[in-house]
Copies of this chain bind each other. A is one copy, B any other.
Amino acid sequence: MLAIGIIGASGYTGFELVKIALKHKHISKIKLYGHSSSGQSYSKLYPELSGFNCIIEAIEYIDFTLDVYFLALPHTKSIEIVEKLVKSYKCIIDLSADFRLNSKDLYDLVYHQNHTASELLTTKVYGLSEFVSSDKFKCASVIANPGCFPTVTLLSLLPLVKNFSNKINSISTVAYSGVSGAGKTSTADLSYSEMFGNTKAYSVLTHRHQPEIEQELQNNFPYSITMHLLPVKRGIYATHTIFLNEAIEYEKLNEVYQSTYKEKAFVRMREMPPELNWVIQTNYCDINFQVKGKNIVITSCIDNLIKGASGQAIQNMNLNFGFNETEGLI
């Protein structure tokens, strides 16, 4: 049985981690840490969990004897804590962006920071669960949990790109995310009155998830992704338009996707474009592709807080400890 710590427990991904952990067979102890929320009872913060009266403790006083640490902190806030934890050889799963990129230079550029633990960038595991080989998990120092947009995009595109890279002319992704993607926040432009009936693109051509996607895609063709706010609480819907230099037969494409995912519990290949509601409150990623001549359109979706964050983090923990991959998640 594992004792886990959730560092940054007060946000939405922290809340999802708590809910999954409470149902998880192999977790017997949960400790919560936070900055401004420290000292508060969790059931006061989230009255949904009225029976869970755990008190959030100050991050300064982390118990270093736990088995697994989930860091659900804002970007750039994980580095220092990970540096301390890594020394005790515990399982560390970082949900921030701090260890996703492989290159310190790229990280410093994209996040306007000086990464002080850059050696971990090369030893970490990029935890896109379906694409990590099982032996890698065992020796992981830090598991960098992928971003929400990279998760849905890479699961959709990797089988295509890995197998038909030379036939691809260009790929563009247009993704719409529920507002919870911005965290538990109080900015005026994300108020209910402002977002009701509304949508908008943001960070056009400058979103930080694009370098992360391109790092994993290793694309030798132009790639572009544009993010939007969807006027719902949760879920990401992504549409990938692929132009080919040379047509690919539907059957060949299908074979590649089927063989990639047939043993994977959380990717469901669909015969029709999926609906967002099919994956809400689940760890699934649903994917469909349509082909017409040299044009392929792939549509896919996840729950940003689960497969795009906390669910995949638990999936990574399960894989790392050799538990059933779906434990706590179905």
Contact = CB atoms under 8 A, between A and B. Distances in A.
A277 B204 CA distance: 19
A246 to B, nearest CB: 13
Nearest to A279: B48
A184 B187 CA distance: 11
Q: Is the interface of A mostly helix, strand, loop or mixed?
A: mixed
B193 A12 contact: yes
Contacts of A290: 204-205
B197 A276 contact: yes
Contacts of A268: 50
Q: Copies per complex?
A: 4
Contacts of A184: 188, 191, 193-194
B280 A232 contact: no
Contacts of A174: 174, 239, 241
Given A47-B275, A273-B201, A299-B204, A232 B233 contact: no
Interface string A193-231: 111111111101110000000000000001010101011
A297 B274 CA distance: 25
A187 B280 CA distance: 23
Given A191-B190, A205-B292, A241-B226, A200 B170 contact: no
A200 B205 CA distance: 24
A205 B278 contact: no
A30 to B, nearest CB: 17
A192 B278 contact: no
A188 B10 CA distance: 13
Interface residues of A, number: 67
A41 interface: no
Contacts of A241: 172, 174, 224, 226, 241
Given A186-B186, A191-B186, A281-B281, A202 B273 contact: yes
A289 to B, nearest CB: 9
Contacts of A136: none
Interface of A: 12, 47-48, 50, 169-170, 172, 174, 176, 178-180, 182, 184-188, 190-202, 204-206, 222, 224, 226, 228, 230-235, 237, 239, 241, 243, 268, 270, 273-278, 280-282, 288, 290-292, 294-295, 297, 299
22 contacts: A12-B193, A170-B170, A176-B228, A178-B193, A184-B191, A184-B194, A186-B188, A191-B191, A191-B192, A192-B195, A193-B233, A197-B235, A198-B275, A199-B275, A200-B273, A201-B273, A202-B273, A205-B295, A224-B295, A226-B297, A228-B237, A241-B241
